[in-house]
A = this chain, B = another copy of it.
């Protein structure tokens, strides 16, 4: 499990003292090689935090030796001074590990608009470096937790005639799921032998159908980062497609864990849109539904309110998603409560109480494309956690 499941990686998680709670708050993941391939995807938010600005540049050459991650502060909206703090963090990790700072990525999560306690952070790096271990994955996964109630870890091993290779990963957050603490951070590792270009393409492909399809409140963090490190330590080569497939399994597993642990949620909701003309059309309709506060509050109230679902779908412009409103079927947990845009089966047959997981299936009857997006319901706890957070 976790980032130390593949060969060639050591990790550590320690208490640097950034969190008032005194819980672990600094993680270090080191790629011992023999190869040091790295790739990453970042938040699309234009207000990107200092560590995102740094890491985006550092990963540009496809070489990454280590990732340092801290909870207890996002280092976002902190200006040139905040960027200098990130730079100094990377320099310090580079010195301690005897690698170039330009090959060190930095990830931060926590409050926006406040400087980090740099003495504490740098001391934590020293502690973490001495604690690095091939079995340190779990400790690292613990140190990046914010409002997460459990660690998120996953791994998969692939075998071929030439041998086997593994993908492991850890996650916290996510930005869209636990927005009070603003950030989804993910580190995925593999001991497969991969080209840098393949690593980049495979990570983007996997993220597109996993992390980009969980959407709790439509908010986009300033710090979201997904990193892939490849050590080549298995000696087994993986091509782009094989790597993408294994990454999709691990990232999909992590994404589902994020939904299951989302702040204040009472239900996990899988919105599947089928019968769309294109995948983009299906995605646009699914996002309109997953971002509707009315749908999300209805599910919280155990109310199979298909009218709100249909009305959300109707907000998508026809040029984006062609379909006839009068042709749409909506099923909630298997009961087709809306048929042909009107009343379908008896809504009292829908059971929303027995399970946390809710399935909403929308058939547009306009084509062959289908997409699933996960979200959560909108609850009193969500309002409480997000209104009581920073003051």
A307 pairs with B386, CB closer than 8 A: no
State how many residues of chain A have any CB contact under 8 Å with chain B: 66
Query: A222 contacts which chain B residues (CB < 8 A)?
Result: 307, 311, 314
Query: A235 contacts which chain B residues (CB < 8 A)?
Result: none
Not counting A114-B343, A298-B387, a sample of 12 additional A-B residue pairs whose C-beta atoms are within 8 angstroms of each other reads A46-B313, A77-B341, A77-B343, A82-B342, A113-B307, A180-B294, A182-B311, A218-B293, A219-B294, A220-B311, A300-B383, A301-B388
A328 to B: closest C-beta gap in Å: 8
- Whether a CB of chain B sits under 8 angstroms from the CB of A338 is yes
Chain B's closest residue to A74 (CB) is B307
A307 pairs with B387, CB closer than 8 A: no
- Whether a CB of chain B sits under 8 angstroms from the CB of A303 is yes
A325 pairs with B219, CB closer than 8 A: no
- Whether a CB of chain B sits under 8 angstroms from the CB of A310 is yes
A166 to B: closest C-beta gap in Å: 36
- Whether a CB of chain B sits under 8 angstroms from the CB of A109 is no
Q: How many copies does the complex hold?
A: 2
A257–B219 CA distance with the chains assembled, in angstroms: 29
A114–B218 CA distance with the chains assembled, in angstroms: 30
Which label, helix, strand, loop or mixed, suits the secondary structure of the A interface? loop
Chain B's closest residue to A324 (CB) is B46
Report if A340-B79 is in contact (Cβ < 8 Å); known contacts: A303-B387, A389-B301. Answer: yes
Query: A182 contacts which chain B residues (CB < 8 A)?
Result: 307, 311
| Contacting residue for A46 out of B220, B302, B314, B343, CB 8 A | B314
Chain B's closest residue to A304 (CB) is B391
Chain B's closest residue to A384 (CB) is B380
A311–B114 CA distance with the chains assembled, in angstroms: 14
A314–B218 CA distance with the chains assembled, in angstroms: 13
> For chain A residues 219-261, which have a beta carbon within 8 Å of chain B?
219-222
Query: A305 contacts which chain B residues (CB < 8 A)?
Result: 112, 389-390
B387 pairs with A313, CB closer than 8 A: no
